Structure 1
Amino acid sequence: MCGIAGIFHCGTIKPVDPARIERMTDALAHRGPDGSGVWTAPGIGLGHRRLSIIDIAGSPQPMTSAHSPAVIVFNGEIYNYRELRSELAASGATFRTEGDTEVILAAYARWGVDCLSRLHGMFAFALYDGQKRELLLARDRLGVKPLFMARLADGSMAFASELKGLLAHPLLRREIDPLAVEDYLAWGYVPDHRSILSGVEKLPAGHYRILKHDTAPAAPVRWWDVSFAERRKGSVADLEAELLHHLREAVTSRMVADVPLGAFLSGGVDSSSVVALMAETSRDPVRTCSIGFDVAAHDETTYADEVARLFGTEHHSRTVGAEQFGAIDDLAAMFDEPFADASALPTWRVCQLARENVTVALSGDGADEALAGYRRQVFHAHEEQVRRLLPGSLRRSLLGPLAEIYPKADWAPRSLRLKTTLQSLAGDGGEGYASALAATPNALRQSLYTPDFARGIAGYRAEDRLIEVMQQAPARSGLDRAQYADLMFWLPGDILTKVDRTSMAVSLEAREPLLDHRLIEFAATLPDSMRVRGRQGKWLLKRAMRRYLPDQILFRPKQGFVTPIAEWLRGPLAGEAKAISSSAALARTGWFDSRKLAGLADAHITGRSDHSRLLWQLVMLDRSLRRLGVAT
């Protein structure tokens, strides 16, 4: 795993200062503490920071091709590089190293941009073709590895693995995009179609972009998508066997490393399944680690301990408490953009724990998106059944008014909190799912904005982009569309961003076997009933794993890696909640009504309402603004 950065002149050819590239890569040193390099030529500069995982002594970057005037900087892992190497060698290619970077160069020389479909893994890379005098920027199918880009005032395009790499360039404008603030308040992160800074872009997952010296930058081109439009036929036993085959292939392919390797273990279905399949393959005890919480209702370490005992792993655990939030500024520095998934803190801590023993750790991320493991997906599938039975006019006229008068009832048991469900059923499926996924409802966001800020975003609503993704999904059912949106929108923007930044902050490589694209493509063809039955999501996965895991692990209520932030903001972090309305950084923006922010904090602290997610979003936004030093 590594960090990459570079500068490419579009429309002209000017020298690139190597010292400027070096400053950009120095900002990414945490991603690659084992080595660094810079390469420049007229109009192009590439930089690299290396975390050595495979071919430790070889494969320095930037790497030049032995057979063509091509140079690459690469962040990620290609899990089928040995098979590709053999295929390319059979057709005459020769290799100087034992790693996967040189295989990408050879694959490009043989197949051009079509080589992307042959690469199995996680990657973001920049490959300069000296013969064509063009730069290929590419990102993996699901966006496991990030790539930021910005057009600068001198006509160049700069790129880097993280925003902080671009921030090291003196020509980058630090001006907030107000639409990104609306996106952030809606989702708790800045999604991949936008950046917190105007003029900065993220290369979308499954896309490439070609830059040429004599023309303006071309738009990104999609090279991969997943379709939910087909349905796999076969018996339950056959589909179960095929799923298990894909799971084994995904896990074993990600166990190749020349450094110590382990796994995150929460005690949930997904991480436990990964550990079970690792234990099946490994000669030695699997090294596992887990994080617990000082609030018992959120602590899963007993389940992790049970799985560790079951497979005889070398297990390590640690507890996270509210005092750990003294590291808020460290979190803000990690993400650059505001990022309010409160599980980022324990994810960072479990990465720190893992790094004490290993350099690579496998995670269970991806199964919820691929196999319908989120409660919201299960609820959405049932809501879509109701929508099919009741005409839209009836739902709007009957359920809409009911939703208006039904109390919000944050204090009530989940089964009695019907307001959100009624609101969702009154609208169409896209509106309902966007509301379920949003961290802060649209009406609440609008109530917080000052008139000037509201005029500035000119009616823009964050949910519309997600609804558009669902409407355009290659899908057959509402469940398909919800999963497609999670894979294309939520996964790269939230989950993979969180894991990439927290793992790279401690120079740990995290691998996600359950995001193997062959597994994703297979899962997308499963009938709805193989994914959701009754209130049970991931039905086929749980059935397949019964040979490995006990029912109390497979079928206990889904908990997730949930931080007890609501309790902490009423207790040891209440001061943070109260201070948000008077924060100097937020106050200077003029975006929010300070009296309403104070009211939110008071209502949460006194227990009248649960505003923990929104308060945490505001805390993290404040910290990010302080660090970015932006114009608002």
Structure 2
Amino acid sequence: MDHVWPALRKIPNPLRATAASMIRMFSTKQLDVVGKFAQPLLPDALRSSQFGNHLHKIASLAKCKEWSDAYVALVSAWNDPAHLVIDSRHEATRIDPINQANMPDALRAMQWLDQTTYLVDDILTKLDRASMAASLETRVPLLDHRLVEFAWTLPADMKVRNGQGKWIVRQVLNRFVPAPLMDRPKMGFAIPLESWLRGPLREWASELLDERRVRDQGFLNADVVAQEWRQLCAGGGAHQHKVWALLMWMAWVEHWKPTS
């Protein structure tokens, strides 16, 4: 995000919209195949085992005019919750631009948001639990509070330079780690969500997203939910995270709803 957004802003809006429409014509799986063969030619930001998902995310930025809109688009499974939630209304959160008034630039604002929301409430919790269960130390050295405090004092060009993130970390590692290991595509801990939802979890998901159940709950637009589920079952990989968010909500409600 910190190196993709500045580049996207330089592209005229009509051209951005056209490119986004062309990307959405292909599923994430189809784009993954393209990415596999094109990897040597791709910039670091796109060299990933999740190439298709990354391209779909970038396509979601086409209509964004401000970095704050782009940030919300990237971290949200649903970019238009008003379309999904019945009688929804927007409540101010840390992501709203007014809450970053004291930040000197977009990069620092996004880093602050990541540190105070996504990291502590999501990836650090989930990834650390999963990795520790397999006796892997994945993040401890970088979580030293002295290192975090030092990182906040660094100028932006020591973090992102020439479209490459983690610049200063790469410079240090270059002294000790062979270049081929450093230049490999990023590989996250993603799960085969689409395959699971269309396979072993399909019956469970279909039951939770039953149209009558969703309508009786009265919180979500049942027609929108049904459409997303149908498109996923038909092979629309771009819908997997949206459907997973729906399932987590429905499962939570079912677990905690009052019993008579």
- Give TM-score scaled by structure 1 length: 0.33
- Measure, in 2, the Cα distance between the counterparts of 1:439 and 1:496: 19
1:379 corresponding residue in structure 2 = 4
1:565 alignment partner AA: L
Alpha-carbon deviation of 1:524? 1.7
Partner of 1:423: 63
CA distance in 2, matches of 1:502, 1:553: 24
Question: Structure 1 residue aligned with 2:95, among 466, 469, 475?
Answer: 466
Distance in 1 (alpha carbons) for counterparts of 2:98 and 2:113: 6
User: Contact 1:503 / 1:509 at 8 angstroms: preserved in 2?
Assistant: yes
Q: Please list, as runs of the form range in 1=range in 2, the aligned pairs for 1:55-66 lying within 5 A after superposition.
A: none
- After superposition, the C-alpha distances for 1:406-443 in whole angstroms (9 at most, x for unaligned) are 5233526359756423212xx1111122212212212x
Distance in 2 of aligned mates of 1:419 and 1:591:
29
Pair 1:539-2:161 in alignment? no
Give distance in 1, aligned partners of 2:224 and 2:188.
31
Pair 511,535 (structure 1): closer, same or farther in 2 beyond 3 Å = closer
Q: When the two structures are aligned, how many residues end up with a matched partner?
A: 232
- Residue 186 of structure 2 is aligned to residue 558 of structure 1: yes
Percent identical residues = 29
CA contact under 8 A between 1:448 and 1:596: conserved in structure 2? yes
Bigger helix fraction: 2
Quote how far apart the aligned CAs of 1:405 are: 9.5
Q: 2:17 aligned with 1:403, yes or no?
A: yes
One-letter code aligned to 1:460: H
Q: 2: distance between equivalents of 1:555 and 1:405?
A: 27
Cα distance in 1 between the residues matched to 2:91 and 2:8: 23
The 3-state SS of whatever aligns with 1:556 is: coil
Is the aligned partner of 1:448 residue 2:62?
A: no
What letter corresponds to residue 17 of structure 2 in structure 1? A
Q: 2:152 corresponds to which letter in structure 1?
A: A
Give me the whole-angstrom Cα distance separating, in 2, the residues matched to 1:383 and 1:556: 24
Pick the structure with more strand per residue: 1
Q: Distance in 2 between matches of 1:499 and 1:584?
A: 35
Match for residue 235 of structure 2 among 586, 607, 612? 607
Matches of 1:503 and 1:629 in 2, distance apart?
Answer: 32
Distance 1:469 1:514, change over 3 A: farther
Cα distance in 1 between the residues matched to 2:130 and 2:256: 19
Listed as ranges, the matches of 1:80-479 within 5 Å are 376-383=1-8, 386=10, 399=13, 403=17, 406-407=20-21, 408-411=24-27, 413=31, 414=52, 419-424=59-64, 427-442=65-80, 445-450=81-86, 454=87, 457=88, 459-460=89-90, 465-468=94-97, 471-472=100-101, 474-479=102-107
Mapped to 1, the partners of 2:248 and 2:228 lie a distance apart of 16
Residues 179-203 of structure 1: CA deviation (Å, up to 9, x unaligned):
xxxxxxxxxxxxxxxxxxxxxxxxx
What is the aligned partner in structure 1 of residue 152 from structure 2?
524
Q: Report if the CA contact (8 A) 1:378-1:532 is conserved.
A: yes
Q: Secondary structure at the match of 1:421?
A: coil
Give the 3 Å change call, closer, same or farther, for CA 547–583 of structure 1 in structure 2: farther
User: How many angstroms apart in 2 are the aligned matches of 1:469 and 1:517?
Assistant: 27
- Which structure has the larger Rg over C-alpha atoms? 1
Change in Cα spacing, 1:566 to 1:538, as seen in structure 2 (3 Å) is same
Question: CA 1:564–1:469 in 2, change beyond 3 Å: closer, same or farther?
Answer: farther
TM-score with structure 2 setting the length:
0.72
Flag the 1:583–1:627 CA change in 2: closer, same or farther, 3 A.
Answer: farther
* Partner Cα separation in structure 2 for residue 514 and residue 481 of structure 1: 20
Relative contact order, higher structure (CA 8 A, sep 6+):
2
Match of 2:36 in 1: none
